[in-house]
Structure 1
Amino acid sequence: MRLSSDTLAELPAEVAVPAYDREAQAIGIVHFGIGAFHRAHQAWYTDLALNAGEHGWAICGVSLRSASVAEQLNPQDGLYSVTERGGGTSTTRVVGAVREVIVAPKDPEAVIARIALPDCHIVSFTITEKGYARGNDGSLDISLAEGSFYPLLSEAFARRQAQGLPGLTLMSCDNLAENGQQLDRLMREWLKAKDPQLFDWFALNCTCPQTMIDRIVPATTDEDRAALEATLGLRDEGAVLTEAFSQWVIEDRFAGPRPRWEDHGAQLVTNVAPYETAKLRMLNGAHSLLAYCGLERGFTFVHEAIADAELRQLAHRLMMQEAAPTIDAAPDQDLAAYADSLIDRFAEPALQHRLAQIAMDGSQKIPQRWLDTAAWHSRRGDDCPAIRAAFRAWLAHLADGSLVNDPLGDELRALVANKGPEAVADRMTDGRFPSEFIV
């Protein structure tokens, strides 16, 4: 029997379920990229807000490519469970914030229509770094953008403008440095090239706040679903497993109304940069180091890699001796305590976080996770042995090719084979510092 609105009553009493009338909730958020992270993070926070009595913040999820999430959630009326694991315990609750999932390539008109409705106030994104259709120089690649969210948004903007509706908050929830600024710039580049009559409307009526997101969400396996079914008595194809920790820092710059996420643990601030930089360079930087160095040593999971004394020392060095000095910390940030907490989170065996999942899309992640730190030290004549070791492990990962899942994988693997690792370093550093600094 499958999880759905009709079967909620069959769940064990200890499993929390939505306490609000889901059918009475207008869809106020359209979210591109409704994968496991969004369901364990933004949708999870939004469900807490709805449970607290807020109205009008149901979510329409949009898949830009695969129909898999729609096939998981739509037969379940958008319901799915979030199980938090850690310290030998686990708790599960059902999230009801998602009302529907649309597969954009199959029904682009439905996506546009949702965004153009008066009830919609926020369009958000968890599409990974590569989803923003940036070219090698960081500017918008129009040919890639044609198949992304840009044409859908611009058509929805045109309809809102024609109806006299207010603008929207566009909110990136991705590990992209200065994600709000980048989204704003890329959207303007699209409009300037494709819909110049909307450029001023967007500039005057829409905002793109910066965000920092943090929660470790491993990919759910068939074994996870089977174990959860044995516990719940229902099959949940959309199940998400995560850690108890969650953090969301948001620039308080919205174009219109929003849920009171801050009542449920989110932080509304005027400057996201210190939190974002610490997360990208410390957490994400160490994660990528563990991924490539750990795979090279034959490990499968993060907790196995961090249990290796040499890799643990290397990850801590990257965080505290290489990344931390580059961060202009906020008054409430204790970077040493942050590094210690990250080591503890990495060591949690219950998460079963696969190194291969972190290793995906390395070419899109490495600039903000390692190279920004390396550039800072290079200018000062310092050394970055942890980042250098991590970069070499990534080069070995590329050269092997068996686990590479990267939009530039073929190009970079050919560079390694034909011109050597220095050519890849030159390609990635883009002249910001000498390639020999990290090779």
Structure 2
Amino acid sequence: MMRLSETALSRLPADVERPAYDRKAAKRGVVHLGIGAFHRAHQAVYFDRALDSGDLRWATTGVSLRSAAVRDRLQPQDGLYGVVVRDGDAEQTRIVGAVREVLVATEDPAAVIAAMADRDTHLVTLTITEKGYKLDRAAGGLLSDDADVAADLAALDAPRTAIGFIVAALAQRRARNLPPFTAMSCDNLPHNGALLRAAVIAMARAHDGDLAEWIADEGAFPASMVDRIVPATTEADIAAHAAQLGVEDRAMVKTEPFTQWVIEDRFAGERPDFAALGVQLTDAVGPWEDAKLRLLNGAHSAIAYLGGLAGDTFVHEFVGRPEGRAFVEKLWNEAEPTLSPPEELDVAQYRRDLMARFSNPALQHRTHQIAMDGSQKLPQRLIATLADRREATQPIDALALAVAAWMRWQAGQTDSGERFAVEDPIADRLASADGVDALLAAIGVTLDPGARSAIGAWLTTLERDGAAGAVRTIVS
């Protein structure tokens, strides 16, 4: 079957949206680090809409920091791919043309630096997952004992980390009397803008104090919050998509109708007309961020571990049972009082919308996908909420069960005895940790004795009754 490409666009069904602009005339104003499925279903769609509006400054150069897989899927397709929006039985496809090139950092680091240092580049965005920032959560700052960080602290001629690439590119821009680009984290990290800024300045200071001061004075690192559920694409998805389009699209992504982007209104230079694209610009991202992390992401992690242990393959299976839905509502009842939501956010409606999103069977969102890298996600998704509840002397039953389920997950075995690999950057350390205190210490978390006791009690319940039994107990 023919691959999707520029020449194949005319063969697509009439109801498939496609670029309405001259791709060759578009300038590459964005460099995106970590061009995985989420970026292609989220930020790239916004930039594609900006190009469609006639603002041709926002084509994207994608960067894969490790694997060449995305480049190898997109290159034969002229950078084109489909975003398939599924809502129940309904489905709509948009062909996105914003991505003009994909570079692989390990193959040609100089090309990545050159793209970021180009005078047309105004935005550098990142979706590198929580672990990609190489941050020491306990001590603060960069993980100086990480081999890649240590290499970049020593020299930046061939960076290994996202932070190293940003600093190397900013150094080139300063040497050429170009202004800095705006660097924007789009990952699920609280205060992601401030964390990215601190990491970049620390890396720069290790090489050139004047460069660090220039970045601190002239650079911009706006906080942002992004939201869209993007499950992993399967071969079955690709085959079904090809049958509908009549061409093969190896880079397609599937997602839901909902999409949200909230950005702190702080930029170093040019930017798209974000407001016209449906982006919320604000002076304070934190309240939006907390609501998403503690309601959506917190529930997702709880569902992933409890559902995964119980044998649920997909999120919709867990919330499709009355006790599963009741557990999520109980978790939200504990999390909601810890929020200070912005005036624009109706939390009751947000919760209803989240449950509808979780219940969408067309997404096929796998619990094991969400469960990955739990050590990097748990502190901001569940532990912070639990700690706030303890400080306010409020119950933590659902939160404690969710944390206990993460601990039970580290054994690498479902309640039915099925073995699985625990995918986590510190999986070996977690596997050797014995008990609640050791597992919390492994992720740099300290909790009071009462919280640890509550988690331990639910861990015992999970070991005795399984996840399904524990969920029935907590909601009965």
Shifted more, 264-273 versus 194-203: the winner is 194-203
Paired with 1:223 and 1:195, the residues of 2 have a C-alpha distance of 51
- Answering whether residue 173 of structure 2 is matched by residue 156 of structure 1, we say no
Q: Indicate if the aligned counterparts of 2:35 and 2:64 stay in contact, CA closer than 8 A.
A: yes
Q: Secondary structure at the match of 2:141?
A: coil
Q: Once superposed, what is the RMSD of the aligned Cα atoms?
A: 1.3
Q: Indicate if the aligned counterparts of 2:436 and 2:455 stay in contact, CA closer than 8 A.
A: no
* Cα distance, 1:429 vs structure 2: 5.9
* Cα distance, 1:136 vs structure 2: 4.3
- Answering whether residue 448 of structure 2 is matched by residue 433 of structure 1, we say yes
1:329 pairs with 331, 337, 341, which one? 341
TM-score under structure 2 normalisation?
0.89
Q: Secondary structure at the match of 2:411?
A: helix
Give the AA of the match of 2:194: Q
Paired with 2:447 and 2:141, the residues of 1 have a C-alpha distance of 17
Alignment map for 1:375-414 (pairs within 5 Å): 375-400=387-412, 402-414=420-432
Paired with 1:230 and 1:325, the residues of 2 have a C-alpha distance of 48
Q: Secondary structure at the match of 2:103?
A: strand
- Answering whether residue 365 of structure 2 is matched by residue 353 of structure 1, we say yes
Paired with 1:108 and 1:407, the residues of 2 have a C-alpha distance of 24
Q: Secondary structure at the match of 1:238?
A: coil
Q: Indicate if the aligned counterparts of 1:46 and 1:261 stay in contact, CA closer than 8 A.
A: no
* Cα distance, 1:276 vs structure 2: 0.4
1:81-122 CA-to-partner distances (Å, cap 9, x unmatched) read 001010320100100000000000001010011111110111
Name the counterpart of 2:16.
Answer: 15
- Answering whether residue 80 of structure 2 is matched by residue 79 of structure 1, we say yes
1:296 pairs with 301, 305, 309, which one? 309
Q: Indicate if the aligned counterparts of 1:371 and 1:429 stay in contact, CA closer than 8 A.
A: no
Give the AA of the match of 1:94: I
Alignment map for 1:83-122 (pairs within 5 Å): 83-122=84-123
Q: Secondary structure at the match of 1:109?
A: helix
* Cα distance, 1:203 vs structure 2: 0.8
* Cα distance, 1:271 vs structure 2: 0.9
* Cα distance, 1:316 vs structure 2: 1.2
TM-score under structure 1 normalisation?
0.97
Name the counterpart of 1:63.
Answer: 64
Paired with 1:2 and 1:261, the residues of 2 have a C-alpha distance of 32
Paired with 2:62 and 2:277, the residues of 1 have a C-alpha distance of 21
Paired with 1:150 and 1:260, the residues of 2 have a C-alpha distance of 27
Q: Any stretches of 5+ residues in structure 2 without a counterpart? A: 153-159, 414-419, 457-476
Give the AA of the match of 2:453: E
Name the counterpart of 2:417.
Answer: none
Q: Secondary structure at the match of 1:438?
A: helix
* Cα distance, 1:323 vs structure 2: 1.0
Q: Secondary structure at the match of 2:95?
A: strand
Name the counterpart of 2:124.
Answer: 123
Paired with 2:17 and 2:84, the residues of 1 have a C-alpha distance of 11
1:209-246 CA-to-partner distances (Å, cap 9, x unmatched) read 01110000000000000000000000001101100010
Paired with 2:11 and 2:440, the residues of 1 have a C-alpha distance of 56
Give the AA of the match of 1:412: L
Q: Any stretches of 5+ residues in structure 1 without a counterpart? A: none
Q: Indicate if the aligned counterparts of 2:137 and 2:444 stay in contact, CA closer than 8 A.
A: no
* Cα distance, 1:162 vs structure 2: 1.2
Paired with 1:433 and 1:340, the residues of 2 have a C-alpha distance of 33
Name the counterpart of 1:423.
Answer: 438
Name the counterpart of 1:279.
Answer: 292
Paired with 1:387 and 1:180, the residues of 2 have a C-alpha distance of 27
Q: Indicate if the aligned counterparts of 2:382 and 2:399 stay in contact, CA closer than 8 A.
A: yes
